[in-house]
Amino acid sequence: MATYNTCRWCGKRFDKMKVRGVHDNSNYCSARCENQAKKTGTKPQSKVSTKQALLIAALLVLAGLLASIGDKCSNKSITSPTSTEDASSPTETTQAKSKNKKVENYENKETISDINSDETEAKPDLKVLQTEFTPLVELWNQAHSLDNIDIFYQLFDNTVLFYGSKLSKNECIAKKQSSLNKYPDFEQMILNSVEIEEYATEQYKCSFIKRVTIEDKSTDYHAYLIFRKYGNNWKIVAESDVITDRNLAKKR
């Protein structure tokens, strides 16, 4: 069984049973280390003392670093606010001013809801939009007669997704006129209030239930119009109903 010891001269760890030439003294790993120790008459530092020396050296280096950092901090505190601001980049200065302004605004808020309202983008008020879209939907409804068909020229965009087909304004109006000519007794009315939801950027979907009466037979449809804003004007870019969309989805 191996028995290990540490050489008192070089600090090497060795097996006492395998050391040759040092049978009379198991404190050294070799005769050379034993002779060196006898010649000098002194004992070198052990492995443990070496670790201690390294630890002391590391502490001294750390102390030097701390002293250097302390000097830098003291010099920075002596520097005037004006010179510090000049030394910073324009981006950092702008961000700092913006942050301070934001904090001042928060201090003026009375409730958390007021603060949160600043963090989110303001969305259009759907109640206000309803006052715009409801008359447009009513106008579209009134245009479904031979006397008012020219209204479609005002309402339709140049290109319309018309019940699943992309058509020009003239093609849409031609289809409307063809249906009205085919069914002279055609009647249409809207049964409920218009529901508005944001569809895309500058586009809103107006959903409603329309009742179509042809030859004394009435059918209700969940229909919708999609409006897009051009300048100050809203134009119809899509017209369809839920049944048509569902049937088109089955064919795909």
pLDDT tens digits for range 117-140: 444 556 677 778 888 999 999 999
Q: Indicate whether 58 belongs to any domain.
A: yes
**Domain assignment of residue 162, yes or no:** yes
Within-domain flag for 110? no
The pLDDT of residue 97 is above 50: yes
Closest CA to 175 of 152, 205, 155: 152
Residue recorded with tokens 């329309």: 210
Q: Name the residue with tokens 């395998």.
A: 18
Q: How far apart are CA 120 and CA 126, in angstroms?
A: 17
Same domain? For 67 and 144 the reply is no
- Residue 27 and residue 68 share a domain: no
pTM surpassing 0.85?
no
Comparing 10 with 166, the larger pLDDT belongs to 166
* Residue 57 shares a structural domain with residue 39: no
- How many alpha carbons lie under 13 Å from residue 71 in its C-beta half-sphere? 6
Determine, yes or no, domain membership for 104: no
19 lies in the same domain as 58: no
Chain-centroid distance of CA 21 in Å reads 75
Residue 236 belongs to a domain with what CATH number? 3.10.450.50
Same domain, 16 and 133: no
**Tell me, what's the pLDDT at 122?**
62
Do 154 and 57 belong together in one domain? no
Q: How many C-beta atoms lie closer than 10 Å to residue 197's C-beta?
A: 11
The reply to whether 201 and 151 lie within a common domain is yes
Q: Which domain holds residue 70?
A: 53-79
Q: Are 211 and 245 found together in one domain?
A: yes
- Integer Cα distance of 164 and 252 in angstroms: 12
What total of structural domains would you count in the chain? 3
CA pair distance 161, 226, nearest whole angstrom: 9
